[in-house]
Structure formats: C-alpha cells, structure tokens
C-alpha cells in the first residue's frame, strides 16, 4: 500500500558530501594532489615551508589577535607589536631577508589598522561556518565576518603580490560559499564579500545576488560529485592513478607533494622557498 502511494521507505537518502573551499580548489588544481592531501594514509611527506605562506599566516594571526583585544586597545601600534610576537622566519633565505619582509608586513598592518574602524565588533573572527545544499555540506573558516546595517559581510585578508580586482571577488567560489554558510550559521542575510589586500591597501568587493550564489553552488556540487565518485571508487578497489591523475602545470613548482610526483617534477622546475615573495 505504501509503495502504491509513492512512498519508498526502503530508500536511503544520499549522503551529503562535506567540502571546504580548500578541498574543492585542490581537486580542481590536481586530482592526484587531492588524493595525497585528503585520502592517502599515511599522507606522503610534504615539502618545507614557503616564505610567502609564512608571511600571510603571520599577518592573519596578528589581525586575529588584534580583534581579540578590547576595542580601546586596537591601535596600529598594538597590531605591530602583535605581528612581531607572531613572526617566524620559516621559508626565508636567511634572517636578513626575513627582516626585510617583516618590516614590509609591519607597514601593511600599521596602515591597514590606521584606516580601520577598530570600534567595530565582528560577529566572527576565524569563524567556522557551514551550510547544507541539496548535494553538499559547504563549510570553512572565515577570516572575519562583519555586521553592517543588518547584513553580514565576508572579509578575507590577502597578502599576495598581485593587486586584486572586483572580478577576483565576484569569481571567488570560496567567498560565495562562505557567504551562504555564514548566512545559515549566523541566521542573517549575507551578500557582500570583500578581499582586503594589505600590500596595496585596496578592497575588492562584490554584492552577490541569489542567482550568482546559486551558480557558485552548482559548480561546487558538480566538483563534489566528481571527487566523491572518485573517492568511493578508490575505496572499492579502483586504480588511484586512473581515478586521480596528475594535472601538471606551473602549479607543480610549489606543490607540497612534489617529491612524490615524478610527473610534477618533470613539468616544472624546482624553485627556492622564498621565490614567490613579491620583489
């Protein structure tokens, strides 16, 4: 009788695939790298630290620590002191080079905080947010979430060598998924996403519509279907080299798993850990 009415109580709902922007980006970048990073156990050995990653992490940590302070203590001088406290020399050529870039970072942070309304109380600092869609659970950690005029705003700090544009903000799948996840987690509307590029002191912003957010979700779900199928087939005994082929290119130069990938080593030259710093 239940089957005649159209109910199938024996069918199990399809399990949602949990993804982060980092996982999706890794899959798009190189399936083999995805397998090594998220599936292989034990995980293949990673390469050493990169100076540009150290630089970015220190700046992020200093700004996080700044907003952990009471508003009256959030001064440019305090931000600089926090950066010095967080500083590491990992990946730099030597202490002299590290000092040069530490001084640059000091200037970035000082200028950024001097222009910032530090009386604001973000609703999230390094906040983990999550939301289900019809096929995935999109989740991740957001640098900062502001509340402005009743709406959430996603803020992502950037320290790379290139100035960012509106197209970067509009095209960022990570920012779009963060907006949807923040909306679900914090129960407030969210459409605006911002890339704060500290080296140039610029902000690239985009106001998403429901349609543009839906397009990002659709692309994320397509990628999640692909990686989930490959993962399940691997678990069932499939060939990892067929399911997770290398996608070679210039990105092989800085891949963490370069030493375990002969195709990657052949595709791109070895560079120094400080080579990706801005000149």
- The distance of Cα 107 from the centroid of its chain, to the nearest Å, equals 24
| Cis amide prior to 42 (ω within 30 degrees) | yes
The stretch 135-154 carries a mean pLDDT of 97
For residues 147 and 5, the model is more confident at 147
Per-residue pLDDT, 3: 46
Task: Identify the burial level of 81 via C-beta atoms within 10 angstroms of its C-beta, where 0-12 means exposed, 13-18 middle and 19 or more buried.
Answer: middle
Report long-range pairs for 39-45 (Cβ below 8 Å, ≥24 apart).
Answer: 39/231, 39/234, 39/244, 44/257, 44/259, 44/260, 45/259, 45/260
pLDDT digits (tens, 9 = 90+) for 100-141: 999 999 999 999 999 999 899 999 999 999 999 999 999 999
pLDDT of residue 179: 98
**Domains, in order of start, for the chain:** 51-115 (no CATH), 124-218 (3.90.320.10)
Q: Positive or negative CA dihedral for 16, 22, 25, 26?
A: negative
Task: Name residues whose C-beta falls within 8 Å of residue 143's C-beta, 6 or more positions apart in sequence.
Answer: 60, 63, 64, 125, 126, 155, 156, 157
pLDDT tens-digit readout, 220-260 = 999 999 999 999 999 999 999 999 999 999 999 999 999 99
Rounded Cα gap, residues 27 and 47, in angstroms: 19
Dihedrals φ, ψ of 50, to 5°?
A: -105, 135
**Count of Cβ atoms closer than 10 Å to residue 198 Cβ:** 22
Neighbouring C-beta atoms of residue 221, cutoff 10 Å = 17
The pLDDT confidence band at residue 208, using thresholds 50, 70 and 90, is: very high
Question: Which residue in the block uniquely carries the two structure tokens 């890794």?
Answer: 26
In Å, how far from its chain's centre is CA 87?
21
pLDDT score, position 1 = 42
CA 116 to chain centre: 23
For the segment 222-231, what is each residue's pLDDT rounded down to a tens digit?
999 999 999 9
């Amino acid at each position: 009788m239940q089957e005649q009415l159209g109910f199938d109580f024996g069918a199990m709902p399809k399990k949602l695939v949990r993804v982060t922007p980092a996982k999706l980006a890794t899959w798009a970048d190189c399936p083999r790298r995805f397998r090594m990073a998220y599936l292989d156990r034990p995980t293949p050995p990673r390469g050493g630290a990169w100076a540009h990653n150290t630089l970015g992490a220190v700046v992020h940590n200093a700004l996080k620590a700044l907003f952990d302070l009471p508003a009256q203590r959030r001064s440019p001088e305090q931000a600089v002191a926090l950066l010095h406290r967080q500083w590491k020399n990992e990946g730099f050529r030597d202490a002299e080079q590290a000092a040069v870039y530490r001084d640059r970072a000091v200037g970035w942070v000082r200028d950024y905080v001097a222009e910032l309304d530090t009386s604001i109380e973000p609703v999230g600092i390094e906040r983990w947010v999550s939301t289900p869609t019809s096929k995935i659970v999109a989740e991740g950690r957001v640098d900062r979430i502001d509340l402005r005029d009743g709406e959430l705003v996603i803020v992502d700090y950037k320290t790379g060598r290139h100035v960012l544009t509106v197209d970067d903000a509009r095209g960022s799948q990570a920012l779009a998924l963060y907006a949807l996840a923040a909306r679900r987690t914090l129960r407030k509307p969210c459409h605006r996403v911002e890339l704060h590029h500290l080296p140039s002191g610029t902000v690239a912003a985009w106001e998403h519509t429901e349609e543009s957010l839906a397009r990002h979700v659709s692309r994320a779900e397509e990628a999640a279907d692909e990686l989930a199928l490959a993962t399940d087939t691997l678990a069932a005994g499939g060939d990892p080299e067929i399911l997770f082929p290398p996608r070679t290119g210039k990105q092989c130069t800085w891949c963490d798993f370069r030493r375990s990938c002969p195709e990657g080593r052949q595709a791109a030259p070895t560079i120094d850990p400080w080579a990706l710093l801005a000149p």
